[in-house]
Structure 1
Amino acid sequence: SPFVIASPACRSILGTNPTLTVVVNQSLLLFHEGCIYHPPSDSLFAVSEYFNDPSVNNNVSGQYIIHVTNLSSSRPSYKILDGLPLANPISGTRYIHGGADKIVLAVTGNKQKNTGGIFFLDPFPPFEVTPLTTSYGDYQYDGPDDATTMPDGSIYFTDVIYGWLHGRRPQPVLPNMVYRYDPSTNTTRAMADLISRPNGVTRSPDGSVVYVGDTGVNIGDGTLDYTSQRAIYAHTARSTVSGKGNTAGPFLMDRRLFALPYVGVADGLKTDTHGNVWGLSTDGLHVWSPSGNFLGKILMDDDQQGGNFGFGKPGEVYIVGGNVLFKLEVANSVLGTGVYTEV
């Protein structure tokens, strides 16, 4: 069985009859990142591996949005959205706030200016793309990697030098960083530094905690440093008193080590509405309690490892696996934070 139970609490997550099935299986490496479920259209937005194929965008190498539809049917279909003005999207989440219903994407970019940043994608055809932030002041981002939306409508995202190390971005001019973008004011603030390779980012259901995965063990040039950082860090998101009765912030405070995966490093990070933290690691999908206790994991084969996952309908989790898209069915009480509502 692929289901490993480390704590009795894991049984209430898995339910009485957990299953792991294949939703889509094809030859191209279309399922590498993303994995963002959109309930109104019952569709999923995944991101391919960096690849080229004569049938895709005139054989131009890149990462592309994969739109999987009819997920509730016995035969889901997919389409490669290779005509979008997005240069190497990576990951993101659903954005529901103030009447808006969008997909927010972290986009690595290429060597051209203003191609890396945070973008809105309309989840309905013709899939309109809107850039939100593509630079920090005069400096181009190194390569945004993941994003999470907060209850107040702001967007936290990680920026890391992997794009440059892979030869897709210019020489970095910013440190590896976590930023906060506020669509209501069109402002971006630096929120957390001193993280070796900030990768996955997510938040607690109430938005009081922001989790960041450090994949420093993966240098980015093909080598691994097993003594480097590979933990998940928790930060308290809180405003402070400033002046007479005024407030400033929010700020990310009280950084602490939340969890260290027993195997590998956690890439994609998400929380469920019970506050459990889920992370896709080297050997599969891991789950920790809000206190950082390891609850269990779902094992995945080495040759079917992607870099992310996403919650779907209640009791459903989608996992990218290279050329395969998986669906994990667990207890109906499992629901992803922010999939259906703002909070």
Structure 2
Amino acid sequence: MRKAAKSVSFILPHWTWSANSEPVPRSFKDIGLDEISITQYSPGFASITGPGQFWYSMILSTRESSRNPFFHDVCAYLPEHDELYISSNTLPPTSTSQLPIILISRIQIARNAAGAVRAVDWQKLRPPPNMPMPAGGAPYLRGVLYCSQGNTAPDTGGLYYMPRGKPPEPVVTNFFGRDFNSVNSVAVASDGSLWFTDPCHGFERELRGPPQLPCHVYRFDPGSRDLRVVADGLGRPHGIALSPDESTVYVTDTDAVRANASRDLTRAATIYAFDVVKRSGAPFLANKRVFAYALTSIPMGVACDGAGNVWAGCADGVEIWSAGGEILGVIEVPGGVTSIAFGTDGEVFLCAEQRLWMLRLKSRDLMSDS
């Protein structure tokens, strides 16, 4: 990997709070581009943020320089190394003879004696040739499990495990000989099984050939090599998350976004919930139901905290629902949020394309099981 390092000072935290009892569309007219605000819809939101304030900091920003969207997806936090791994959005090629690229950011966090972040070291890495166009990912074993969207060549794309400092290893790269479409997001269960989504984004963006499969949700067991389709009938399955007890799988459907980045508001911008059930000793997804419909635009990355609340990156920031599907509140981030990762001691990292934010929540125990 070729890399460029950049040491960045940490921006001091701020806080702001607002409340709104009416579920109306939000705007950013009363906050600045460098500010985060929150809107509470339910008293239960205070159990997440604390009774009166929360802290946030902008860790990195390209808005004032290249404006490149380096902070888009993966957002995998490795607590044992205090590192974040984040993939960019698609970046334009440097010449007309090259294809678009996606870069990986490795962000090393430096703390003071009290444990507060004082600076970060940012390295931009070019993915290895055998793992083209990485999208989502998750902490896995001694490194990161990446979703590779693949490229126009056959037999590319799938799940790849990249140990720290070592080349990626293919985990699963096809469905019994048929190429995946463009694997996007993955969740790792406590039994080692991998649950992942496979929308048609790659073909729509001219990065992949015509789809050979529907837009499925899959489960793969690396031990037994059991690979199975666990859900279909979704337009563009994108984010995926497991509840803390792993009895529920949440999947975001971003079908409202069309290939040319326009929006069709009659299509899904929805989080679906499925029950994980066993039949004849094997896992299945059952009882598909609408869990939530995004308040603003579409839900991208999705995550569950230790209390079972569901967090989704949306155009207005992070929308948060209780496990029962009640909207609790919105952490409003200018430009929206695409991916979320829980850190340690109440920290939450938010990818917002040209900016990377960190929140520190007062209710730190919520993150302990995530």
Are the aligned partners of 1:43 and 1:71 in contact in 2 as well (CA < 8 Å)? no
State percent identity of aligned pairs: 28
1:337–1:212 distance in 2 versus 1, CA, 3 Å:
farther
- 2:349 matched to 1:310? no
| Other-structure match for 1:21 | 57
Match of 2:139 among 94, 98, 105: 94
- 2:161 matched to 1:116? no
Whole-angstrom distance in 2 between the partners of 1:59 and 1:41? 35
Match of 1:7 among 23, 42, 46: 42
Q: Deviations over 1:162-210 (max 9, x none)?
A: 1100010111010010000111022310100001110100010111100
| Other-structure match for 1:335 | 367
Q: Deviations over 1:307-336 (max 9, x none)?
A: 212111131111112222111111222316
Summarize the alignment of residues 1-343 of structure 1 with structure 2, pairs less than 5 Å apart.
1=16, 2-15=37-50, 16-26=52-62, 27=66, 28-52=68-92, 61-72=100-111, 73-85=117-129, 86-95=131-140, 100-122=141-163, 124=164, 126-240=165-279, 247-302=280-335, 305-331=336-362, 332-335=364-367, 337-338=369-370
What is the one-letter code of the residue matched to 2:183? P
Q: Deviations over 1:236-256 (max 9, x none)?
A: 11112xxxxxx3320001111
- TM-score, normalised via structure 2 length: 0.83
Q: SS of the counterpart of 1:164?
A: helix
Q: Deviations over 1:43-77 (max 9, x none)?
A: 000011211465x9x97631121100025341201
Whole-angstrom distance in 2 between the partners of 1:298 and 1:178? 28
Between the two proteins, the alignment pairs up a number of residues equal to: 322
RMSD of Structure 2 on Structure 1 (CA): 1.8
Flag as ranges the 4+ runs of structure 1 deviating above 6 A. Answer: none
Whole-angstrom distance in 2 between the partners of 1:39 and 1:105? 17
Are the aligned partners of 1:314 and 1:334 in contact in 2 as well (CA < 8 Å)? no
Gaps of 5+ in 1: 241-246, 339-343
Q: SS of the counterpart of 2:281?
A: strand
Q: Which fold has the larger relative contact order, with Cα–Cα distance below 8 Å and residues 6 or more apart in sequence?
A: 1
Most deviating of 211-220 and 328-337: 328-337
Whole-angstrom distance in 2 between the partners of 1:233 and 1:194? 11
What is the one-letter code of the residue matched to 1:34? V
| Other-structure match for 1:244 | none
1:306–1:275 distance in 2 versus 1, CA, 3 Å:
closer
Gaps of 5+ in 2: 1-15, 17-36, 112-116
